[in-house]
Every structure is written in structure tokens, then in C-alpha cells.
Structure 1
Amino acid sequence: MDTYELAGLRPRLPSPLEPAADERFARRGLTLLLKRDDLIHPDLPGNKWRKLVLNLRAAGGRPVLTFGGAYSNHLRATAAAGRLLGFPTIGIVRGDELAGRPLNPSLARCAADGMRLEFVDRSTYRAKHEPAVLAALLGRAPEGTYVVPEGGSNALAVEGCAELGRELSGRADVAAVACGTGGTLAGLAAGFGGRTLGVPVLRGGFLGAEARALQEAAFGGPRGDWWLDERFHGGGYGRTTPALDAFAQDFEARHGLAIERLYVAKMLFALVSLAEEGAFPPGSRIAAVITGSGESQAVSSR
């Protein structure tokens, strides 16, 4: 698989950077900008394109095995890439209890795109990086299968996401992105000249260490000026709150943009809250990275 083949997917790069008139920012002397990475490609939107592109080049058309939960956008993007570029894909899905149930819309899309789904118990999934566990999984895969980690986050993914930072450099003072595995944050901060905010969508407080490790793997050390705000995960991955749902609906009405709930809504909610707290100096241009469309839905609200 060469650069020409990937270019044949016709990604929209650089993605648009659109001003969003919002009085919650304007009355504090701030400018909100929307970095529309969701428009890069209909099947590989946002950070999914940026994290996969160098990995797919490295795979060179070999089968790709990767990991994700039942609602993983990364699994969907990998499956779509396999369909579009003609290589086999295998998805290791967290939760063996799902094996006997009807597929949810996310996993059904993966299967329709040709991905072979393997459901594993949660203890096996947690141990997926251990050599013996990974060897067993690869033993059921075609010879020469290329492994992409959960969420697509590895050194190549971080290098791909650095291009996002370069696209924003000089055009914004602050960039904000929702974080699942830390790869997009690690790359964005490395390529961006301003401050970068990561908004974790999971509980646990582990993402700082993950992002630092990814920067070490990609660049040999820390890069960029970045920080995390852990307050806006909404109860954890796949969860929202009534307040978050109401916020997303209001933002959609204000800006005519469908807001993805699992990641993007949490990041935008964080930005509005931080603006109200006076966290940004007047005159700041704040770029919110829209990493996915409003198609994905949260697992539960509480």
C-alpha cells in the first residue's frame, strides 16, 4: 500500500477551520473556532484518518488486527479502511458476553465492512499487550498480520496527529481535543505552537502518563505545552449526564452542527465552562477540534 493508494481516498486536507459566533466566548473577548476534522473523510473522519494513515502505509496491504470496545469509532474506521483499500481486518472486541447478542449499530457496520469480530473476556482484553496474549490472538490471524493498538494510538499515530497541530499553528492560541487514549493529544501538542487542552472522556487519571509515553515513543521526549482537565468525562466512556445532553442540544441549535456525544460534546462543554471560569486570557483564539460527526450515540445517561 503506497502513498498513491491512500491519496485515492481523497481526504479533505487541511480540514476547514470555521469561526463560530458564540456570545459565551465573545463577551469574554474570546474567539471560538471549529477545526472540522470530521469532514476529512466520510468513513475515516477526524483523528481516525490522522492516526491510521501512517499505520496503513506501514501495514502495506497486509491484514490489520486492532482492538476496541463495543462502540469503538476506531474499529469502525479500520473496518472501513479495509473495505475501501482491500485488506482484511480483525477486530478484538472487549466483552465476551457480547458474542451471543445481536450486534449494535457500530459493530454491525464493522461486520458489514468485512471486519472479522472476535469477542474476548475483559481480563484477556486488559492483558492484550502481554506477549503471550498477543501471540495467541495473532495465532488465529493470517500470517504477517499488522497490529494497531486500541484507539490507533502508537508512535506512528502521534506523528500523523502532529500534522493537525501544524495546520493550527499561528491560527489559534489554544487548541482543545477530547481524549480517549492520548494519541491525538500527544501529536496535536507536538505540532502546535500554542497551548493544548486535552479533555479525557474516561475516568481514571491515567491519560497524562499515556500521552507522555506516546510522545517519548514518537519524538524521544516531551513536546508542546499541554494540560488535561479531568472534570468533564460525564461518568466515564460511553456515558453522558442530563446536563451534558442539554448542553449538546443547545450547541446544536446555536450552530447548526450535529454534536457527537461520546467525545466532542464533552470537549465543548469543557471549553464553555473554562471560558466562564476565566481560564483563557481575553483575545485568545480557541480552536475546538471536532473529531467526529454527531452519528455516534452514548451508551447511557445518568
Structure 2
Amino acid sequence: MEELLDPGLGRVRVFLMHDDNKPRKLKYNLGHRRLLTFGGAYSNHIRAVAEAGARHGIETVGVIRGEEHLPLNPVLARAAACGMTLTYLDRAAYRRKHTEEVQAALRARWGADIAILPEGGSNAAAVRGCAELPGEIPIEYDVVCCPVGTGGTLAGIAAGLPEGRRALGFAVLKGAGFLEGEVARLQRETYGRTWSNWAINLDYHFGGYAKTTPTLDAFIAKYRVEGVYVAKMLYGILDLARRGAFAPGTRIVAVVTGQPSTPVDVCAAPTGFDSGEPR
């Protein structure tokens, strides 16, 4: 845990908690012999599922958006080295990946017993894993912030917060108002109820998923942070603090998601590539 020091924060204090949310989301999803999931060609989720499969002896299938391109990029090469079978869906079919029709076709090909995990890994089991994060925060705090792609991490963090604390997510997608409904749906699916201790800020997407601007690029260079998720969250926190959105004395824990710089290598392919699918 380290403190982010910036004169623009005033009396607001921000502490960085480095935490790879992918293992949390997978923790309660690994009780299967065979697991199929979805992602783009640079998906951290695909990488994480492949690595978990190698670690736990689970057969994994990655359904990749678009067409195959050889040689494989570093993310897909690592997934394949971990034993994941890669298959591809054209973009039209991929948009319907959640439908009974597409999932029935996948089960017909890969076996009726295969467990299907959604893109980004956000389901009830993932929410339970992320709900454990607040209990591991070693300092006093008022607000927990996190980037939001699919809503699972925020749904879990909010559910696991002690009384009187709140969670604030920063959407990395443009036009992401639907995420409020997704977070609520995930909480109901997991616990049969929702919480009112969270919100999603939609103003710091910088043009959309994996998009950037010169302003964000300069911020990334200054703070040396990952650009798809973390930079947008931290920029949002600092900007809101300068605008007086947080009361003086507020203590914020910013969850820096993503793979650590020196991960435990369970496969033979290169590591360290970190851009990709929503968290």
C-alpha cells in the first residue's frame, strides 16, 4: 500500500492498493473439469483463465472475437502455451455469444458438460471473490475506487464493504450507463439483494474502451500507470478531488487492478502483456 502524493489533492489522501482482480474473479469459478470463456485478442481475462487452467489442471477453451491471425500475439501465445484451446467467432456471432443459440452451438462442439464463463468473468462466483477485497485493506479508509469494465469487481467490493464506507467505480467504456443495471443485477444474482453504497462515474472514459487522448497520455507518462483501466480511474480521482467532490480529510483506497510486474510463471510463454478486455 503506497500513498499517491499530488498537490492537487489538498487534504484528500489517496492510497494505492495493487490487486490483480482476475484471480479474485476466478477463485470460485474453478470447480469445473472443463471451462470455456470469451475475450478479444488481447484479453487479460483469456490469459488469466488459461493460467488458472494450467495451475489447477482444468481444460480451457478460449473463444476469441474475430478471425485468427498468425503468428499469435503475446497474449494468445501465452494462453496457448498454458494449454488453452483457441477458437474464433466472427464479430456478428460474438455479439450474440450470450444467447441460447450460440451457447448451444458451443456446447454441441465442446461438450454439454463444459462450464461457460462470461466475457470478463463477471458472474455471481466472481462477485463473491471480489467481495473479499475490502476485508484485506490494511488501513482506515472512507472510499474504495476501482475501474469498471463489466461491473463484477465493483459489485463485489460494494457488497463486502463495512458499514459507513462507499465504493466509486470509474467506467472505462463510453456510453456505459447500462453498467449501473449490471452491477445491481450481479448483486441480486449473488446475494438476492442490492446495496446503495456505490456509484459509477461515467465522465473519464477518454473516448471509449482502450481509447486515449494527449491529456491521458501525459498523465500515464507522469504517473507510469497502466492506461486502459488504471489511468482513467486515477485521473478521475485527482480531478474530482481538485473540484472539491470529496470532503477534506477523505481517505481513498484506489484499487490498481492488473497483473503484477513479476507474476508467478506457470506456462512457457512470455508474460507481462497487459491491455485487454473489461474487468
- Quote the Cα distance in structure 2 between the aligned partners of 1:138 and 1:169: 44
Q: What is the Cα deviation at residue 218 of structure 1?
A: 0.6
Residue 203 of structure 1 aligns with which residue? Answer: 174
Alignment of 1:112-261 (within 5 A): 112-168=81-137, 171-193=140-162, 194-205=165-176, 206-252=178-224, 259-261=225-227
- Alignment RMSD, CA only? 1.8
167 and 224 in structure 1: CA distance in 2 versus 1, 3 angstrom threshold: farther
Asked if 2 retains the 8 angstrom alpha-carbon contact of 1:18 and 1:36, the reply is no
Once the two structures are TM-superposed, the CA of residue 143 in structure 1 deviates from its matched residue by: 4.8
For the residue of structure 2 that corresponds to 1:239, the secondary structure is coil
Whole-Å Cα distance in 2 between the matches of residues 297 and 163 of structure 1? 24
What is the aligned-residue identity percentage? 48
Q: Deviations over 1:127-155 (max 9, x none)?
A: 11111210101222145211111101001
Within-5 A mapping of 1:33-52: 33-37=15-19, 46-52=20-26
> 1:125 and 1:119 mapped to 2: Cα distance?
9
Q: How many residues align?
A: 262
Q: Which runs of 5+ in 2 are unaligned?
A: 262-271
Contact 1:22 1:32 in 2 (8 A): no
Deviation, 1:75, is 0.6
Output the CA distance in 2 between the equivalents of 1:136 and 1:265. 39
Report the Cα distance in structure 1 between the residues aligned to 2:138 and 2:28, rounded to whole angstroms: 21
Give the match's secondary structure for 2:144.
strand
Q: How does 1:92-111 map to 2 (within 5 A)?
A: 92-96=63-67, 99-111=68-80
Equivalent residues of 2:42, 2:75 under 8 A apart: yes
Q: In the alignment, does 2:38 pair up with 1:76?
A: no
- 1:277-300 deviation line (CA, Å, top 9, x unaligned): 11100001011001114744668x
Residue 268 (structure 1) aligns with: 234
Q: Is the 8 A contact 1:192 1:224 kept in 2?
A: no
Deviations 1:238-280 (A, max 9, x none): 222221111011113xxxxxx2111111111111111111110
Q: Is 2:50–2:60's contact at 8 Å kept on the other side of the alignment?
A: yes
Q: Which amino acid aligns with 2:8?
A: R
- Deviations for 1:157-178, whole angstroms, at most 9, x for unmatched residues? 1011111123339721011100
Give the distance between the partners of 2:8 and 2:82, measured in 1 at CA: 42
Are the equivalent residues in 2 in contact too, given 1:155–1:217 (CA < 8 A)? yes
Q: TM-score, normalised by structure 1?
A: 0.82
User: Which structure carries more helix by proportion?
Assistant: 1
Asked which structure has the greater RCO (Cα within 8 Å, sep 6+), the reply is 2
**Which amino acid in 2 is paired with 1:289?**
V
**Residue pair 2:45, 2:121 contacting (<8 A) in 1 also:** yes
Instruction: Name the residue aligned to 2:27.
Output: 53
SS of the residue corresponding to residue 29 of structure 1 reads coil
Quick one: distance in 2 between partners of 1:49 and 1:298? 16
Q: Whole-Å Cα distance in 1 between the matches of residues 51 and 87 of structure 2?
A: 17
Indicate the residue corresponding to 2:257 in structure 1: 291
In the alignment, residue 78 of structure 1 is paired with which amino acid?
V
| Local SS of the residue matching 2:182 | helix
Structure 1: distance between partners of 2:155 and 2:135:
13
Amino acid at match of 1:201: V
Q: Distance in 1 between matches of 2:214 and 2:7?
A: 23
In 1, Cα distance between the equivalents of 2:274 and 2:21?
A: 18
CA contact (8 A) 2:43 2:275 kept: no
Partner of 2:266: none
Distance (Å, rounded) in 2 between the aligned partners of 1:19 and 1:298: 25
SS of corresponding position for 2:249: coil
Cα distance in 2 for partners of 1:100, 1:212 equals 37
